[in-house]
Amino acid sequence: MNRLRYPATAQDWREQARRRLPRFLFDFLDGGAGDERTLAANVQAWGQVALRQRVLVDVSQVDTRTRLAGQDCALPLALAPVGLAGMMARRGEAQAMRAASQAGVPFTLSTVGICALQEVRAAAPAGAPPPWFQLYMLRDRGAVRALLEQAWQAGCRTLVFTVDLPLPGMRQRDVRNGMAHQGARPALLRAAQVLARPGWVWDVALRGKPLSFGSLASQVPGGRDLGAFKAWVDAQFDPGVTWRDIDWLRGQWRGRLLLKGILDEQDARAAVAAGAEGIVVSNHGGRQLDGVAATAAALPTIARAVGDQVEVLVDGGVRNGTDLFRALALGAHGVLIGRPWIWALAGGGEAGVRQLLASWQRELLLAMTLTGVTRVGDIGPDQLDQFSSQIGLHPLCSKRQQLLNQ
């Protein structure tokens, strides 16, 4: 197959990333837990949401702008946190921050990103909003406090706190590539995969140094060494975390708090009670528990459960601007995208991410135009056909508009 000269879709960028990255890195991004049924269901579920086309409506002034977590956005989308993004392209998080800022959408830096918070913040154009910051609950609460303070000092005002990772999922692709093993044999396997990608070696492994966990390097023993860090972080996952710990976190963090990993309406209500300003309906991209519901299926019930009390975002399987429209029609205020932007970054760098986001904005605008809506706040169940209405949706437009006006 010839190389794609003009990638047009997230799938095209996925192919570009596959050709560029060592296999163990591509599979780390691309894979899911278990048999990857939830990974596949996330994508398929959005395609089952049929839209209601309308004609002869004045759509001469369609506006994709909105607000997410109090931030003005060119479209209702943010780049989700992706661990090791700086291993996929040279100083990858900094490149993605520039692309997101230029596109007018938020970028979320992962705790286990390669670039440090200050580097990512400095990469944005002058006057651009700071990044959002993603964090896990670690056993070492002192490290959590230090990371929160570091994020605040860097200007971050939105914390995306991941709650669905008490233990890492069973990701079989990582096992097959030797990422779950130590010793000479898995190291040789990964080395062979690296040597098969000389372009990546030159651009990332050599020119992209230092390849360390930037935000953790000054806080955590082993933060400057990928192998030592893995041993540390494996010991830091805390399966004993409960809602009491979220109460503690709420007392530590002065900014907006979004809880990422909500897939049940009772947990959504608990997030409201804990003082979160927003939730992310998420199954960790199908990377944690295989067999759980697709996020498109879980979203409407959760959106109804929390009403107008918090902002609702969703991730998982969103692959284009039309899927973004579907998410809004099902009750979300916006989406987080992970794999699409990291595929574009790996395949085309900063320019690839900018191209992807511009394409999604055009697709969203087209979906709005052909369903007869001109404002993001007006997208709701009325833009779904009868089949989609039968899955139990209730009007959510008023809730979205109230939050947009805040």
- Looking at residue 87, the DSSP 8-state letter turns out to be G
pTM passes above 0.75: yes
Per-residue burial over 184-211, b if 16 or more Cβ lie within 10 Å, else e, is eebeebbeebbeebeebeeebbeebeeb
- Looking at residue 317, the DSSP 8-state letter turns out to be S
As to burial, measured by CB atoms within 10 angstroms (0-12 exposed, 13-18 middle, 19+ buried), residue 108 is: buried
Q: What is the average pLDDT across 70-93?
A: 97
Tell how far CA 265 is from the center of its chain: 21
pLDDT number for residue 391: 47
pLDDT in tens, 381-405: 999 996 544 444 433 444 444 544 4
Q: Which range (101-105, 298-302, 391-395) has the least confidence?
A: 391-395
Domain boundaries in the chain?
Answer: 10-172+232-404
Q: Convert 123-158 into a string of H (helix), E (strand) and C (coil).
A: HCCCCCCCCEEEEECECCHHHHHHHHHHHHHCCCCE
| Interatomic CA distance for residues 41 and 292, integer angstroms | 9
Active site residue 284: yes
pLDDT in tens, 347-381: 999 999 999 999 999 999 999 999 999 999 999 99
Q: What is the average pLDDT across 69-77?
A: 97
Segments of 199-295 assigned E as strands? 256-262, 278-281
Residues in the chain, total: 406
pLDDT in tens, 205-258: 999 998 888 887 766 555 455 566 666 767 777 888 999 999 999 999 999 999
Over pLDDT 70: what percentage of the chain?
A: 90
pLDDT number for residue 392: 45
Report cis status (omega within 30 of 0) of the bond before 210: yes
In the chain, the largest separation of any two C-alpha atoms, in whole Å, equals 67
Q: Catalytic pick from 181, 284, 333, 394?
A: 284
| Interatomic CA distance for residues 216 and 199, integer angstroms | 28
CATH number for the domain whose boundaries are 10-172+232-404? 3.20.20.70
Q: Which range (35-49, 262-276, 320-334, 373-387) has the least confidence?
A: 373-387
Using pLDDT thresholds of 50, 70 and 90, give the confidence band for residue 33. Answer: very high
pLDDT in tens, 145-204: 999 999 999 999 999 999 999 888 899 998 898 887 778 888 899 999 999 999 999 999
